[in-house]
Amino acid sequence: MTSTQARHTRRAVLQAAVDAGARCAGTDPDKFFRADGETYIEWQARRAEAIRFCSGCPMRAACEELALRDGDGDAQADEMVRAGLTGQELAAVRAAQAERLTAVVDADRDTEGRQLDALVTEFYAEACKNPDSSRNGGARNSVLRQSAQTERMRSLAVQARTIRIARRARSGWGVAA
Ligand code: SF4
């Protein structure tokens, strides 16, 4: 795998995580953006609500890393919210964390990064399996398959967490997924 492919894979994993668990999935995306002609007072109230909404999202860290990688946010424009941060806050974090963000992106190229991508991809693939869909029917078999699926997901999550902790310690990046 080339370094470019590795970066793209990492990004795809982050996007898959957000797609799978985003609190905003299926909701109106306009709530995160200032409308044309919207007054500051109106936007201020909606912006606060959008920030509150994101604060309850389990994928906020992955969403933030994606936003930083995507270059979202503008230091001069107060017109959006993503990952619980305003566009101006995202721009500020990107500037403040530029070195760490570069380190995280660079880490995508190393072996651990590829291992993490594979583990997370396998975790979500496992999570999407339906243990009841096997031809080997029967309630007992179904329970056993569910148990095996749960154990496999737990094992994958532990392996991924171990790698993430090591990567964060190296890069000093304590927030992103
Ligand atoms: S943090 Fe906010 S914008 Fe990001 S996925 Fe969650 S709800 Fe959506």
pLDDT tier for residue 97 given thresholds of 50, 70 and 90: confident
Looking at the structure, do residues 80 and 20 belong to the same domain, yes or no? yes
Q: Is the pLDDT of residue 1 over 60?
A: no
Looking at the structure, do residues 123 and 84 belong to the same domain, yes or no? no
**CB-based contact 49:84 (threshold 8 Å):** no
Task: Give the domain-ending residue among 58, 78, 99.
Answer: 99
Atom of ligand 1 nearest to the CA of 67: 4
Q: Is the pLDDT of residue 87 over 90?
A: yes
Q: Is 113 in the pocket of ligand 1 (CB under 6 A)?
A: no
Domain membership of residue 106 (yes or no) is no
Task: Give the domain-ending residue among 74, 99, 124.
Answer: 99
Mean pLDDT estimate for the chain: 83
pTM over 0.85: no
Looking at the structure, do residues 68 and 135 belong to the same domain, yes or no? no
Q: What is the rounded distance in angstroms from the CA atom of residue 6 to the CA atom of residue 82? A: 25
Alpha helix positions (H), the chain: 3-21, 40-55, 60-70, 87-96, 98-107, 111-128, 139-171
Domain membership of residue 176 (yes or no) is no
Residue with the larger pLDDT of the pair 26 and 113: 26
Q: Is 82 in the pocket of ligand 1 (CB under 6 A)?
A: yes
How is residue 135 written in tokens? 């031809």
Q: Is 60 in the pocket of ligand 1 (CB under 6 A)?
A: yes
Looking at the structure, do residues 83 and 137 belong to the same domain, yes or no? no
Instruction: Give the pLDDT of residue 161.
Output: 82
Residue with the larger pLDDT of the pair 60 and 117: 60
Task: Give the domain-ending residue among 99, 124, 144.
Answer: 99
Domain membership of residue 43 (yes or no) is yes
Comparing 48-62, 107-121, 154-168, the range with the smallest average pLDDT is 107-121
Q: Is 175 in the pocket of ligand 1 (CB under 6 A)?
A: no
What's the pLDDT tens digit per position in 156-176? 988 888 877 766 665 555 554
- CA-nearest residue for atom 8, ligand 1, is 24
Q: Is the pLDDT of residue 7 over 60?
A: no
- In testing the pocket of ligand 1, which one of 14, 28, 33, 60 has its CB within 8 Å of the most ligand atoms? 60
**CB-based contact 78:43 (threshold 8 Å):** yes
Name the residue range of residue 115's domain. 111-171
**CB-based contact 164:4 (threshold 8 Å):** no
Q: Which helix (H) or strand (E) holds 86?
A: strand 85-86
Domain membership of residue 117 (yes or no) is yes
Domain membership of residue 116 (yes or no) is yes
Chain centroid to CA 177: 6
Number of domains in the chain: 2
